[in-house]
Amino acid sequence: MRSAWWKIGWRNLGRNRRRTLITSLGLALGYLAVVVMAGLSRGLVSEMIDNGTGMLTGQLQVFAEDYLPDRGIYETIGGREGVDVEALVARVAADPNVSAAAPRVYAGGLVSTGRATAAGVILGVDMKLEGDVSRLLSHIDEGRAPTPGQYEIAIGREMARQLDAAPGDEVVVVAPGADGSLGNDLFIVSGIFTTTITELDLGHAVAPIEVVQELVALAPGRVHEIAARVDDPWAADAAAAAVTAALEGDDAGLTVRSWTEFRPEMVEYANLVSSMEWMLIVFVFGMAIWGVANTMLMSSYERRREFAVLLALGGGPRFIVRSVLAEALVLGALALAAGLAVTLPILAWWSAAPPDMSWVYGGFTMAGGLMRPILRVEWPTSMIFITGGAMFVTALAAALYPAYRSARVPPADTLAGR
Amino acid sequence: MRRTILPAFVAALLVLPIRAEAQTAACAGLTDATEIVDCVDRIMRGESSQGIATMEVSTENWSRAMEMQMWSLGTDYALVRILSPRKDAGTATLKAGTEIWNYLPRVDRTIKIPASLMSASWMGSHFTNDDLVKESRLIEDYEITLAYEGDREGVAVWEFDLIPRPEAPVVWGRIAFQVRKSDTMPVFAAYYDEDGELVRTMTFFDYRQLGGRLVPAAMRVVPEDKPGEYTEVRYSELEFDVDLDEDFFSLRRLRDVR
């Protein structure tokens, strides 16, 4: 019986194929618009999160619970005794969501050529592991990364400009040590990085972790942070919980936090964007619903005599309503098929080869992250389904009034042509 | 990085003793608050001095003591050299006008401290250098009123309130300054921020004759947010009106302080 309704709906649509085609194409284009816009906005959010966290912070951080907010040089993981850094890094990296982890030491200090001095964060990183966690070192566009164990330092582009320093130049690095002394040593500038993020380009310098530890009088087992990369940023909270659980007990006194905690503005932006997806659905289908309703009204008006006959034969208003709604559902299915046929290939192509928009605009920073001038698209999987559902709802809602009107056709008058 | 200083203690160390002398010489008999403070302030300037002091810094995480030698000329010029511990010996700081330079013997380099770090930590102590870097006189920057005159714990004192003038380039919202009436020795200075919160308290003690003058030979700064921490400076030697001129405070001298 159920298949009979589909059949009736399908045949009714076939009576005026051109109209059916135009209506379903309209819905399909609405589907395309919503899904592609959702994909684009999610792409923008992903790009922002990726750049905001991937450049330096990582998506997950582990540190001593007293380290924040002051970032005191003494507040190392494991206190004064420190920890087995290698083992701790391995335990953080063991989480399935974590793809890489690396230890870091942060020192506030000065980099000076003598004539000019710049203040900033002297970041000590494991030169072998850091590249898997953050991209900062890959942004060295002049010279090269510091060599492990050597007194070499990479500085930001703006700092280099202020110091008038180039790769190969000698600089003095001064930083207050953990023992109260004034750590100072000569470093060779090995490279200059350009991120276009002012905070990094102006206020950061990177050197091998073991060298920075020596500079600020920290033993090799004393680090401030284990930074980790979580490939799917939305899995970072789960990873943080799992890492917290894994480190509990013998590594007491540690705090694990994900980027959603230290970059809440990016979460807010992502939430804003996702709420806009719903608005997009409402706008697009809110417009489409009138077009569909118009079509359905016209088609039901043309079929008044048919409905009158059905009613005269004892079909009942319910029967009429059902047949009109079935037609709407089949229309929705047709439109969805058409929508998917158009949308999926476009999404696939777009996400595989995001168009380079650098001819329109250059890179810019947003929420502290560098945005590349490309139109990145993320697969909006949930939106593919939600929008499909919204389209059926639209088709059904558009058919409600025509169905109601059709069920109330007066059989005798209509058949008499009155 | 801990926000604290360098030259402030130079100012405090080298200048306060001179201030101490004020009352016996020029400041005796003054009663108006502004006049008293201005008198002390004027005497603080234009004098040269030389001394040796020990600075003890105690923080939550470490404690250390440093012996240092210092020279000053007015408030524009100061030179400090660390004598011990050995690790830091030879490290020297020069203040010339508004510029501050550091000499680091370990790397044999002289570096200029950028303006943005003028108020940054020097050797981890709790001093700030605001009053030294700002070269204006107290009466130019502050409205001075006598807030209290009478006995405090059996000692006759004045308590002055220093409120910055609207356009004054100072960081403090208010300074409360207590001075003993009997010998015009400073007792304490309490520094408040713009919200009226106490930030740090500097107390003076161990008043005795050094370089032929009565001075507070020791002073201690306690930051309000870390009451367990302090920086204490004690003089062992102090001389006034020594033969120094501006040429003494040169970068060459900074590298080779003798």
Inter-chain Cβ pairs, chain A and chain B, closer than 8 A: 70
Average pLDDT in the B116-142 region?
64
Which of these, A196, A193, A158, A153, lies nearest to A172 by C-alpha position?
Answer: A153
Question: H-type helices in chain B, by residue range?
Answer: 7-22, 33-44, 130-133, 138-141, 251-255
Phi, psi angle pair for B120, to nearest 5° = -85, 170
% of chain B with per-residue pLDDT over 70: 78
- Residue B9, pLDDT score: 46
Name the 3-class secondary structure at A115.
Answer: coil
- Residue B15, pLDDT score: 46
Contact (CB, 8 A) for B191 and B198: yes
- Six-digit token pair at A415? 């058949």
**Which fold would CATH assign to domain B7-255?**
outer membrane lipoprotein receptor (LolB), chain A (2.50.20)
Q: Using DSSP bridges, classify how beta strands A225-230 and B99-104 pair: parallel, antiparallel or unpaired.
A: unpaired
Task: Report how far Cα A255 is from the mean position of its chain's Cα atoms.
Answer: 25
Which of these, B69, B80, B78, lies nearest to B131 by C-alpha position?
Answer: B78
Residue by residue, DSSP assigns A322-387 as: HHHHHHHHHHHHHHHHHHHHHHHHHHHHHHHSPPB-TTT---EEETTEEEPSB------HHHHHHH
Domains of chain A: which residue ranges?
2-52+266-415, 58-262
Q: What is the pLDDT of residues B44-96, one digit of tens each?
A: 444 788 889 999 999 888 888 999 998 888 778 888 899 988 888 898 888 88
- Residue A394, pLDDT score: 92
- Residue B4, pLDDT score: 36
Which residues of chain A neighbour B120 with C-beta distances below 8 Å? Answer: 119
Give the contacts of A65 (CB within 8 A, at least 6 positions apart). Answer: A253, A254, A255
- Six-digit token pair at A81? 């005794």
Could A184 and B121 be called an inter-chain contact, meaning their C-beta atoms sit closer than 8 Å? no
Phi, psi angle pair for B170, to nearest 5° = -125, 160
**Distance (Å, whole) CA B23 – CA A348:** 86
**Distance (Å, whole) CA A42 – CA B201:** 54
Domains of chain B: which residue ranges?
7-255
Q: Does B109 touch chain A (CB under 8 A)?
A: yes
Measured from the Cβ of residue A32, the count of other Cβ atoms closer than 10 Å reads 21
Report the sign of the C-alpha dihedral through residues A81, A86, A87, A90, in that order: positive
Measured from the Cβ of residue B69, the count of other Cβ atoms closer than 10 Å reads 17
Residue by residue, DSSP assigns B164-213 as: E-TT---S-SEEEEEEETTT--EEEEEEE-TTS-EEEEEEEEEEEEETTE
Q: What is the nearest CA distance from A177 to chain B, expressed in angstroms? A: 9
Could A118 and B112 be called an inter-chain contact, meaning their C-beta atoms sit closer than 8 Å? no
Phi, psi angle pair for B109, to nearest 5° = -130, 150
**Residue in B91, B113, B124 closest to A117 by CB:** B113
Measured from the Cβ of residue B70, the count of other Cβ atoms closer than 10 Å reads 23
pLDDT band for B39, please (50, 70, 90 cuts): low
**Distance (Å, whole) CA A84 – CA A277:** 47
- Which residue is listed with tokens 């660390």? B82
**Residue in A110, A178, A185 closest to B111 by CB:** A110
Query: What pTM does this model have?
Result: 0.74
**More confident: B40 or B145:** B145
Give the contacts of A270 (CB within 8 A, at least 6 positions apart). Answer: A45, A49
**Distance (Å, whole) CA B162 – CA B15:** 18
Contact (CB, 8 A) for B237 and B209: no
Average pLDDT in the B235-247 region?
87
Axis crossing angle, helix A264-302 with helix A381-407, rounded to the nearest 10 = 30
A39, containing H or E segment: helix A17-54
pLDDT at B136 over 80: no
Q: What is the dihedral of CA A263, A264, A270, A275, to 10 degrees?
A: -170
Q: What is the nearest CA distance from B124 to chain A, expressed in angstroms? A: 6
Entry field: residues in chain B: 258
- Residue B74, pLDDT score: 77
**More confident: B39 or B153:** B153
Residue by residue, DSSP assigns A178-243 as: TTSSEEEEEEEEEEEE--S-HHHHHHEEEEEHHHHHHHTT--TT--SEEEEEESSGGGHHHHHHHH
Could A117 and B2 be called an inter-chain contact, meaning their C-beta atoms sit closer than 8 Å? no
Entry field: residues in chain A: 418
Residues of B numbered 169-208 whose beta carbons fall under 8 angstroms of chain A's beta carbons: which are they? none
- Residue A400, pLDDT score: 92
**More confident: B15 or A68:** A68
- Weakly modelled stretches of chain A, pLDDT under 70: 1-3, 250-252, 361-372
pLDDT at B112 over 90: no
- Residue B135, pLDDT score: 47
- Residue A367, pLDDT score: 60
**Distance (Å, whole) CA B143 – CA B163:** 5
A107, containing H or E segment: strand A98-112
- Residue A52, pLDDT score: 84
Mutate to test the interface with A, among B58, B103, B107 (most CBs of A within 10 A): B107
- Which residue is listed with tokens 């004892």? A314
Could B111 and A182 be called an inter-chain contact, meaning their C-beta atoms sit closer than 8 Å? no
Name the 3-class secondary structure at B142.
Answer: strand
Name the 3-class secondary structure at A87.
Answer: helix
Q: What is the nearest CA distance from A147 to chain B, expressed in angstroms? A: 20
Amino acid at A316: G
- Residue B29, pLDDT score: 72
Q: Does B107 touch chain A (CB under 8 A)?
A: yes
Q: What is the pLDDT of residues B179-235, one digit of tens each?
A: 888 877 788 889 999 899 999 998 989 988 888 777 788 989 999 988 889 999 898
Q: Using DSSP bridges, classify how beta strands B48-58 and B63-73 pair: parallel, antiparallel or unpaired.
A: antiparallel
**More confident: A177 or B128:** A177
**Distance (Å, whole) CA A90 – CA A105:** 17
- Residue B14, pLDDT score: 45
Q: Using DSSP bridges, classify how beta strands A117-125 and A254-258 pair: parallel, antiparallel or unpaired.
A: unpaired
Q: What is the nearest CA distance from B117 to chain A, expressed in angstroms? A: 7
- Residue B26, pLDDT score: 45
Measured from the Cβ of residue A84, the count of other Cβ atoms closer than 10 Å reads 11
- Which residue is listed with tokens 């595989």? A352
Q: What is the nearest CA distance from B212 to chain A, expressed in angstroms? A: 34
Measured from the Cβ of residue A315, the count of other Cβ atoms closer than 10 Å reads 17
